[in-house]
Chains A and B, each alone.
Chain A
Amino acid sequence: MYLTKEEEKMLSGEYGLAIQKAMQLLVAIGDIFEAEYLIDIESAQISGVSYNNIGDAGLEFLEEFSNLNAKVVVKSTLNPCGMDIDRWKEMGISREYYEKQMRIIRAFERMGVEISCTCTPYFVGNIPKQGSHIAWSESSAVVFANSVLNARTNREGGPSALASAIIGKTPYYGLHKDENRLPNFLVKIETDLRTSLDFSLLGYTIGRLIPSSIPYIYGIKHYDIDKLKAISAALATSGGISMFHFKGKIRDKLERLSIDKKELEISKEMLSKNNEPDLICIGCPHCSYDEILYLAKAIKGKKLKKDYGLWIWTSKGVFQRANKYVKIIENAGCKVFRDTCMVVYPINLSGYKHMASNSCKAVSYVASVSGLKTSLIELSDVFSKFFE
């Protein structure tokens, strides 16, 4: 990979160990993917934050790296951590876990990363300009950024996103280049999609059938930002998909795939265990302001039935803005947690046995990392069956 004189100096250690280390990571990734050079980025989104995921290994690295005076040079936001920073006790988190999680958070803070703790940075001010290059980890945000915001990012890991944030650059390859962003599959939708769950199932089904494609999804109606967020998360769960198209002209003749209601039902069955859920989780990816508002309107004046939990996950940014709706939701017996989610919080500590969600990503990951049973559920069923 070609490096400028300045970049060579960074690599040789003239600007200190932190910059040297970060540069070494970018050069190695650039060499692996045969990138020609590094390009400037506008922002970074950094994953690998939950103590439950990265453990003592990640904690040690981040703490020592931050002690080298590593500092980010572009806007950098953080993925969810492994607990609500204020309400961790309610979640069954031990003091030892809390302290270790806070050491991770403080390490990121010292490096200049915003402690946004959300997988939806685009709801809390990290909104890249159209066409800009960014280095984002968090697979759902990667798909959303490439497909909805028209920014450009590869699917980074936590350390590579952090290295990019420190250098302000990323290797120029993959989805940063125009020629790699074209659709290579035409997916025709032959069923009516209405709810978030429908859109999540669509994403999951496409990822399951054509896992390494850039699909052009043709024939979706009634979509909004939240539905596109749901597709984004599910596409990256079942497949390695980092981008999709849903509008604009199609130039080339593409391979075709039709998806009907039956295909969505197959995905739904794959992700659902026969059992009665006792915990409903909503907010994968984190709930938007509109979603909080919608939930508040739907359950206002109702009461959650005894022995059930309804946990809603969002960013503290949205939580603050939607505060009066949060209160309505909590008055109905539900909980609204910030900074974390059902996937990266050790959900076996919740005390519940079976989690249901309207997100394929949530169900897929909770099934594989926790001991809980899992299934998919429509919000309308949640409102009718779990409230009195």
Chain B
Amino acid sequence: MEFIYKGRGISKFIGEGEAIISKKPFSFFGGIDPKTGIIIDRNHDLYGESIVGKVFIFPKGKGSTVGSYIIYQLKKNKKHPNAIINIESEPIIAIGCIIAEIPLVDKLEVNPISNINNGDYLIVDGINGIVRRIIK
């Protein structure tokens, strides 16, 4: 079975993986170690967790614009999330995802934080702005 959620494709690439969900706005600059893909912000609800190969879901970006470059560096180091879903994206995350070629979708018809569970398998289509949630 699968659910299909329509949204807006911001970074037009396709990727898939297990969902990892945060309720907090996220700054990639100072929030994650670009060498490991592990969250290092002690005040973050995913502190100590890895987002490598996952679909990272959080409300929106925040903080320094250097965050865009950190997303790029995660990709170069092959420690990147396979896709990102925001409630509403802002330019730091959008720019980071485009230069790193990571799919980014926002404004889903349902709230992804309450309607998707950690570990759900997602296919994120940034070209068409669609997220498919696969239930095995």
**Which A residues fall within an 8 A CB radius of B?**
21, 24-25, 28-29, 31-32, 47-48, 53-58, 60-61, 65, 137, 157-160
Contact = CB atoms under 8 A, between A and B. Distances in A.
Given A57-B70, A160-B91, 19 more contacts: A21-B98, A28-B11, A28-B91, A28-B94, A29-B91, A31-B8, A32-B10, A32-B91, A47-B65, A54-B66, A54-B69, A57-B34, A58-B69, A60-B73, A61-B69, A61-B72, A157-B92, A159-B69, A159-B99
Contacts of B92: 157
A55 B89 contact: no
Instruction: Specify the main secondary structure of chain B where it touches its partner.
Output: helix
Contacts of B99: 21, 25, 61, 65, 159
A65 B73 CA distance: 13
Contacts of B34: 57
Nearest to A11: B12
B71 to A, nearest CB: 8
Interface string B81-111: 0000000011110110011000000000000
Contact of B95 (A31, A54, A55, A157): A157
Instruction: Specify the main secondary structure of chain A where it touches its partner.
Output: helix
A29 B91 CA distance: 6
Contacts of A55: 66, 69
Query: Across chains A and B, which 8 residue pairs bring their CB atoms closest together, nearest first?
Result: A57-B73, A57-B69, A157-B65, A58-B69, A28-B94, A159-B95, A61-B72, A24-B98
B69 A25 contact: no
Contacts of B73: 56-57, 60-61
Given A53-B66, A157-B68, A60 B76 contact: yes
Contacts of B66: 48, 53-55, 57-58
Interface in B45-73: 64-66, 68-70, 72-73
B72 A158 contact: no
A160 B98 contact: no
